[in-house]
């Protein structure tokens, strides 16, 4: 019995979290769980009754810029400035203010001098690479989908590229790439507002073998009896009921989620 308990205790101690965020830049705001209300910006009716929208909003973690900064593109070159700077500076590749010496003081010999840049102008016109100040490690077999914050509006002036990173194998800077869409006017980024959202994905979910396993039903008359029964339950029944329940899908989904066992 003692041996079994010891093995269970050892297994519990060895359990790796799904995602581990390592903060390199001390000033960076720590990531946080994404919010079902999209930081309170979601319409009340959607928050109460649309489980699809709230579940998507809450899937993953918000990641923030480590500092307030601005970019400006004239169609050819990019300039940038940040909180505390005296003015605009041409952008090639720039370190986070004061981070280089801090990194070299902490990093082992042989790694000193290799601090990641904070912001860089990529070769293609209007493209920029930004570092969150973080390095991330995920559980084996788990990648991170990096995307714009789900259902959360931003000020505009840029579009974020989505990317999937195998963060269980690649322990490096958590970068985002974006394309500026506004010229001759500042595009501002706030350290208090999510820069992007990361969502854990089991690698098998986007493998070709998984995604190629699909079928097409091209004609309506190819639906079978079960398909029509399910369609009736989903679409018709709520509309012909004497008292139509509001948000029945959301209520059912939340009930199922509450009944599921805790994976921990």
Q: What is the pLDDT of residues 135-179, one digit of tens each?
A: 999 999 999 999 999 999 888 999 999 999 999 999 999 999 999
Residues with Cβ within 8 Å of 172's Cβ and at least 6 positions away in sequence, in order, are 116, 135
Do 203 and 230 sit in the same domain of this protein? no
Greatest mean pLDDT range, 13-22, 171-180, 235-244: 171-180
Least confident of 144-153, 205-214, 225-234, 250-259: 250-259
Gap between the Cα atoms of 216 and 195, Å rounded? 37
Read off the pLDDT of residues 23-61 as tens digits, 9 standing for 90 and up.
999 999 999 999 999 999 999 988 888 899 999 999 999
**End-to-end CA distance of the chain, in Å?**
22
At residue 142, φ and ψ (nearest 5 deg) are -115, 130
Whether the CB-CB separation of 22 and 131 falls below 8 Å is answered with: no
In a domain, 1, yes or no: no
Rounded to the nearest integer, the mean pLDDT of the chain is 90
196 within a domain of the structure (yes/no): yes
**HEC-encoded secondary structure of the chain:** CHHHHHHHHHHHHHCCCCEEEEECCCCCCCCEECCCCCCCCCCHHHHHHCHHHHHHHHCCEEEECCCCEEEEECCCCEEEEECCCCCCEECCEECCCCHHHHHHHHCCCCCCCCCCCCEEECCCCCEEEEEEEEEEEECCCEEEEEECCCCCCCCCCEEECCEEECCCCCCCEEEEEEEECCCCCCEEECCCCEEEEEEEEEHHHHCHHHHCCCCCCCCHHHCCHHHHHHHHHHHHHHHHCCCCCCCHHHHHHHHHHHHCCCCC
Predicted confidence at residue 256, as pLDDT, reads 66
Residue 108 lies in domain: 16-209
Query: Is the confidence at residue 257, as pLDDT, over 70?
Result: no
Task: State the CATH number of the domain containing residue 200.
Answer: 2.70.40.10
What pLDDT is stored for residue 54 in this prediction?
A: 94
Are 116 and 59 members of one domain? yes
Is residue 109 a part of any domain in this protein? yes
**Whether 132 and 225 share a structural domain:** no
What is the rounded average pLDDT of the residues 176-190? 97
Same domain, 116 and 232: no
227 and 164 belong to one structural domain: no
Task: State the Cα–Cα distance between residues 245 and 48, nearest whole angstrom.
Answer: 13
Q: Do 175 and 193 fall into the same domain?
A: yes
Q: Does 23 map to a domain?
A: yes
Q: Quick one: 144 and 253 in the same domain?
A: no
With respect to residue 7, please indicate whether it lies within any of the assigned structural domains. Answer: no
77 and 137 in a common domain: yes
pLDDT, position 1: 46
Q: Quote the number of domains for the chain.
A: 2
Residue 244 and residue 202 share a domain: no
Which candidate, 96, 56, 94, 207, places its Cα nearest to that of 142? 207
List of residues 6+ apart from 202 with CB closer than 8 A: 141, 142, 143
| pLDDT at 15 (0 to 100) | 77
Assess if residue 9 is contained within a domain.
no
Residues 28 and 157 both lie in one domain: yes
**Does 3 have pLDDT greater than 80?**
no
Question: What is the CA 126 to chain-centroid distance, rounded?
Answer: 22
> What's the confidence (pLDDT) of residue 247?
60
22, 133 contact by CB (below 8 A): no
52 is a domain residue:
yes
Given 209, 232, 249, the domain boundary residue is 209
pTM for the model: 0.86
Q: Considering the domain boundaries, does residue 5 fall inside one?
A: no
Residue 177 near residue 127, CB atoms below 8 Å:
yes
User: Same domain, yes or no, for 99 and 176?
Assistant: yes
CA angle at residue 210 from 224 to 145, to 5 degrees? 120
% of the chain with per-residue pLDDT over 70: 86
If asked whether residues 132 and 220 sit together in one domain, one would say no
What integer is the mean pLDDT of 87-102? Answer: 96
């Amino acid at each position: 019995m003692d041996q079994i308990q010891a093995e269970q205790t050892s297994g519990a101690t060895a359990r790796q979290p799904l995602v581990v965020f390592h903060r390199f830049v001390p000033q960076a705001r720590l990531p946080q769980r994404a919010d079902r209300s999209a930081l309170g910006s979601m319409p009340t009716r959607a928050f109460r009754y649309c489980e699809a929208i709230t579940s998507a909003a809450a899937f993953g973690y918000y990641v923030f810029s480590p500092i307030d900064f601005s970019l400006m593109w004239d169609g050819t070159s990019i300039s940038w400035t940040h909180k505390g700077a005296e003015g605009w500076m041409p952008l090639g590749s720039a370190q986070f203010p004061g981070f280089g010496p801090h990194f070299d003081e902490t990093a082992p010999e042989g790694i000193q001098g290799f601090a990641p840049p904070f912001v860089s102008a990529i070769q293609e016109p209007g493209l920029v690479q930004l570092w969150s100040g973080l390095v991330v490690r995920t559980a084996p077999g788990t990648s991170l989908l990096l995307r714009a914050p789900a259902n959360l509006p931003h000020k505009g002036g840029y579009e974020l590229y989505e990317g999937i990173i195998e963060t269980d194998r690649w322990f490096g800077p958590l970068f985002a790439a974006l394309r500026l869409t506004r010229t001759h006017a500042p595009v501002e980024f706030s350290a208090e507002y999510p820069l992007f959202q990361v969502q854990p994905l089991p690698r098998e979910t986007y493998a070709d073998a998984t995604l190629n396993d699909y079928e097409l039903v091209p004609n309506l008359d190819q639906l079978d009896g079960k398909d029509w029964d399910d369609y009736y339950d989903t679409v018709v029944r709520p509309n012909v009921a004497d008292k139509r329940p509001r948000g029945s899908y959301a209520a059912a989904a939340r009930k199922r989620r509450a009944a599921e066992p805790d994976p921990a």
